[in-house]
Structure 1
Amino acid sequence: MGGLASVPGRGRKPDPRKSKSKNINVPEFSNITDIEPPDYMDGLEFAPMIWRSIVPELLENELLKITDMHNVEVFCMAYETYRKCQSEIAFSGVTLNTEAGSVIKNPALTALNEAARQMATFGSLLGLDPSSRQRLTGAGNKEQKNPFSGVLNM
């Protein structure tokens, strides 16, 4: 079929970081040297603690820009919820008895699961897990040689 692409669908959009001719229009956002947790976190127990744990690490590795701060906030608030749900489940158990006498799943399990998903999503955006850290920093992207390049095709 002449004129049709061999693979259906739209082609990939080129990544300016990987192309030989670098895109000079890639935006540069402001660096952060140090930033304290927002005031609304003052009354919370775990969010400021995790903020003070991860932000210095991200700053030291130059992975944090001013435009990333909302991701840090959501991650920290999800961590707060996660820890509170863990405490609730440890105190009440995974099931609860209702007034009618039936047994139901503790609603804290659902909130715990959602908080864990938010932490995974926003943690990945910040490079807090090994695979996303490699993606963000480019570590391990060395030229890999094909072990079969010297083998003749027959």
Structure 2
Amino acid sequence: MGGIASVPGRGRKADPRKSKNKNINVPTFSEVVDIEPPEYMSDLEFAPMIWRSIVPELLENELLRITDMHNVEVFCMAYDTYRKSQMELAKEGVTVLGASGSPIKNPALTALNEAARQMATFGSLLGLDPSSRQRLTGAGDKNQTNPFAGVLNM
């Protein structure tokens, strides 16, 4: 009588933090000091704007490495699409007339949702939201002392 436990590879996975074969050769990538938006973005309205907003912040916090630049690029392109889709929705509304003349969902809604998902994904990789920033910087580490510990004894 076979159960889940008899299937190979389904047991408890080893904790990688306790592995004897831990890779101690952590790669270090070149830090970016200053970088302008790619030339092709100059034809776009919002991508260079958001680039010039987030890149200095990432540089100031020493979070940006050369290997992160594709994430910045995708985030900025998604932001451009997001803003343009939002403008289209404001102009045309959430429904438009389809080929048959009946109302259909505006395709800009789909573009807006996809761009928002991309922004969330790539923004998280860059530390642009509080939880991923904490993950990247180590802020809120459990080893930090709590200044309020022991204040209230209940």
TM-score by length of structure 2 reads 0.81
Change (3 A) 1:15 1:104: farther
- Paired with 2:124 and 2:74, the residues of 1 have a C-alpha distance of 12
Which residue is equivalent to 1:53? 53
- 1:3-18 matches, within 5 Å, as 8-14=11-17
Q: Aligned-pair RMSD on alpha carbons?
A: 2.4
What letter matches 1:46 in structure 2?
F
The 1:49–1:15 alpha-carbon spacing in structure 2 relative to 1, beyond 3 Å, is: farther
What residue number does 1:26 align with? 26
> In structure 1, how many angstroms separate the alpha carbons of the residues matched to 2:39 and 2:130?
31
Q: What is the SS of the residue equivalent to 1:96? A: strand
Determine the structure 2 residue equivalent to 1:103.
103
Distance (whole Å) between structure 2 residues aligned to residue 144 and residue 62 of structure 1: 21
Q: How many residues align?
A: 136
Higher helix share: 2
Closer, same or farther: CA 88–32 of 1 in aligned 2, 3 Å = same
Give the fraction of aligned pairs with identical amino acids, expressed as a percent. Answer: 75
Q: Deviations over 1:113-140 (max 9, x none)?
A: 0000000000000000000000000001
> 1:102: Cα distance to partner?
1.0
Alignment partners' CA distance in 2, 1:71 and 1:55: 11
Q: CA deviation at 1:23?
A: 5.5
What stretches of structure 2 of length at least 5 have no aligned partner? 1-9, 150-154
Number of the residue aligned with 2:77: 77
What's the offset of the Cα at 1:10? Answer: 1.8
Partner AA of 1:11 in structure 2: A
